[in-house]
Amino acid sequence: MSDSAADGRVALTIEGATAHITFDRPAARNAMTWAMYEGLKQACASIASNDAVRVVVLRGAGGEAFVAGTDISQF
């Protein structure tokens, strides 16, 4: 997962049987960067290896947008 605020990040928290994945790049309406896609892949792998998780909640940080799509500056 990325440490750069400009690249955004994907945060994973697990509470009991519920995993929360948060897309955290609100300045760009959570538009996905390549680093965020990699973070999502890592989060999904962590969830897949945890037999206790039964529910996954996806959310976007900032309250303005869930995910705007892929950041076109990545191309």
Q: What pLDDT score does 4 carry?
A: 54
Q: How big is the CA angle at 72 (ends 67 and 75), to the nearest 5 degrees?
A: 135
Residue 3: predicted pLDDT = 44
Pairing of strands 18-24, 9-15: antiparallel
Annotated domain spans of the chain: 9-74
pTM of the entire structure?
0.88
Residue 39: predicted pLDDT: 98
68: pLDDT strictly greater than 70? yes
CATH topology of domain 9-74: GMP Synthetase; Chain A, domain 3 (3.30.300)
Strand partners, 52: none
Question: For residue range 1-45, what is the model confidence (pLDDT) as tens digits?
Answer: 444 567 899 999 999 999 999 999 999 999 999 999 999 999 999
At residue 75, the pLDDT reads 87
